[in-house]
Amino acid sequence: MAEILESHRNPVTLTRFLMMERNQYREATGNFSMLLQSVQLACKVIANANAKAGIANLYGMDGNTNSSGDAQKKLDVFSNDVFINCLSFSKQVYIMGSEENEEPIILQDQTGGYAIVFDPLDGSSNIDANVSVGTIFGIYKKDKKKTTPTSVNCLLRPGTDLICAGYCLYGPAVMLVLTTGLGVNGFTLDPTLGEFILTSQNIRIPRQRCSYYSINEGNYEDWDEPTKAYVDECKQPQKHLNGKPMKARYIGSMVADVHRTLLYGGIFSYPGTSKDPDGKLRLLYEGNPMAFLVEQAGGRATTGTERIMELQPKSLHCRTPIWLGSADMVQDVENLYKKSAKL
């Protein structure tokens, strides 16, 4: 009870947390904090819409398709508009890349110092079933040395260039999980205050092998041999799991699957298939931000043969196979790929 009262007397809001981090940098201007204020506002608006989607008639299809050819839900379009409007108003962004827009959004009248990529509503196929969905974003600092006109090339940067990444999970509680390269912290939205409160400090994913694996096994017949071999091993009794097979947990919303993996350990994957060798997840606004978060929490993220964050994006909506989670488990996958390459 004393801890609860203390958290109410001295709440560490996201705004306050950003101010404390800013104090560590003498050159800080406050512009980055202002940008994240706009990000958290967008997440609050989307959370509110998601909570009353049925009442507000936001369930169902919009009738259009996005950049990847996926049918758009009404809440997809709403969330995208909210993110674009909030970020534009911040005047800190000069270019954006969204899953919902085929081309980058270039703000010609802005002189902002940041580029941002985002999936405004990940897992939207689950919306009508009232399953947790989320927002994913990654932020890059503008390279002031470049004198070329602003174009999509400003976004085609490896994950190692990211200065910030995060996701907002719209579930039973609304949670914003964030890294600026100084570890991973989680903030839960207090609806009575309207503020994100620090509730999970310095999140660390268990390094050792854990009980959970998350993958869409409906694609089994189309996987490569290392992927099949790893999932087959997951189903066999293992000594490190007290003689029990691992437990399959797959939601179909990347934010929800990765959030569970981040907290409980294990491994999440969306590998390539014979039909889609590069998988389904987009590198810039899904793979890289999640890889940054997982690595900052002590985990690993790989294609099976390459570190996700070192990949050079070829286009705004390029895709990548991905394995991420507890470091030892991801290493097991990489070992299988190395073994397969020698055969």
Query: Helices 288-296 & 254-264, crossing angle to 10 degrees?
Result: 10
- Is 121 considered catalytic here? yes
100, 195, 257, 334: the active-site residue = 100
Check 21, 41, 62, 70 and give the catalytic one.
70
Distances (CA, A) of 93 to 14, 97, 100, 233: 20, 11, 18, 46
Please pick, among 36, 119, 281, 336, the residue that the annotation labels catalytic. Answer: 119
Residue 233 appears among annotated catalytic residues: no
Average the pLDDT over each of 4-18, 31-45, 176-190 and give the range with the smallest value. Answer: 4-18
Domain 2-200, CATH number (from 3.30.540.10, 3.40.50.720, 3.20.20.70, 3.40.50.2300): 3.30.540.10
Cα dihedral value 303, 305, 309, 312, nearest 10: -100
Average pLDDT, integer, range 284-307: 98
Amino acid, single-letter form, for residue 40: Q
Q: Is 114 helix (H, G, I), strand (E, B) or coil?
A: strand
Active site residue 100: yes
Q: What is the pLDDT of residues 326-342, one digit of tens each?
A: 999 999 999 999 999 88
Is 99 a known active-site residue?
yes
> Are the CB atoms for 58 and 78 separated by under 8 Å?
yes
Average pLDDT over residues 89-118: 92
Encoding tokens for residue 27? 């050159």
* Residues with Cβ within 8 Å of residue 128, at least 6 apart in sequence: 59, 60, 73
134: nearest Cα among 88, 179, 79: 79
> Which of 121, 162, 169, 281 is labelled catalytic?
121
Count, residues in the chain: 343
Q: Tell me, what's the pLDDT at 1? A: 46
- Range with lowest mean pLDDT among 61-70, 103-112, 142-151, 284-293: 61-70
Cα separations in angstroms, 28 against 20, 138, 191, 202: 11, 19, 30, 22
Task: State both tokens at 12.
Answer: 């560490």
% the chain with pLDDT above 70: 89
Instruction: Please give the DSSP secondary-structure letter assigned to residue 150.
Output: P
Record the pTM.
Answer: 0.91
Is-catalytic flag, 119? yes
| Block residue for tokens 């995060």 | 166
Q: Which of 286, 293, 316, 324 is catalytic?
A: 286
Report the alpha-carbon distance of residue 192 to residue 317 in Å, rounded: 38
Annotation says 221 is catalytic: no
Of 190, 184, 317, 160, which Cα lies nearest the Cα of 261?
184
Tokens representing residue 26 in the block: 């003498």
Task: Number of helices (H) and strands (E) in the chain: give both, helices first.
Answer: 8, 15
* pLDDT surpassing 80 at residue 190: yes
Domain spans, the chain: 2-200, 212-342
Q: Supply the mean pLDDT for the chain.
A: 89
Backbone angles phi, psi at 127, to 5 degrees: -55, -50
Does residue 150 have a pLDDT over 70?
Answer: yes
Q: pLDDT band at residue 206, thresholds of 50, 70 and 90?
A: confident
CA nearest neighbour of 294 among 309, 312, 275 = 309
The domain at 212-342 falls in which architecture? 3-Layer(aba) Sandwich (3.40)
The percentage of the chain sitting over the pLDDT mark of 90, rounded to a whole number, equals 71
Active-site annotation holds for 232 = no
Q: Which of 18, 35, 122, 316 is catalytic?
A: 122
